[in-house]
Copies of this chain bind each other. A is one copy, B any other.
Amino acid sequence: MDWPVTYTRKVRYSDTDAQGIVFNGNYATYFDDTVTDLFDAIGYEWTHVEVVLARMEIDFRSPARLGETLVTGARVERIGNTSFTVRLETWEQSSGRTVAEAKQIQVTVSGNDFEPVPVPDDLVAAIESCARSGREMTTRSR
């Protein structure tokens, strides 16, 4: 699949809990870290509109353990009227085993009153340009 950005994290003690696996709450952090990188890659000037996380769905596919390396990919999957959907996946680097999958609904709001506003055309263009570069990057590098 095409991921314009990926975030790599080796699992250390700080990621784990007393069950010996990555603490489930930490995946939300991996996803936010990756989405920050995605927004940087989109390279949009957030002057008029801001983005608010409205909803997140996470499917936990398999546990991850100390010393494994987790890679999380993020991309915009669908652009709606006043929101867009970010698709995320975390896999174990050496085996490719899927560890978690997620979906985020990001709502575009006015920087003044935080009311939902339509996704601006130039943001749509920036997202599409980022997706294309991800596709090309993926094609080149794998």
Contacts and interface: CB of A to CB of B under 8 A. Distances in A.
A36 B55 CA distance: 23
A137 interface: no
A33 interface: yes
A20 B20 CA distance: 8
A55 B65 CA distance: 19
Interface string A14-40: 101111110111111101110011000
Number of copies: 4
A24 B14 CA distance: 9
A59 interface: yes
A18 B66 CA distance: 8
A14 B27 contact: no
Contacts of A56: 24, 56-58, 60
Contacts of A60: 52-56
Nearest to A21: B18
A55 B53 contact: no
Interface of A: 12-14, 16-21, 23-29, 31-33, 36-37, 52-60, 65-66
Given A12-B36, A16-B17, 13 more contacts: A12-B32, A12-B37, A14-B32, A24-B56, A25-B28, A25-B31, A25-B32, A27-B28, A53-B60, A54-B59, A55-B57, A55-B59, A55-B60
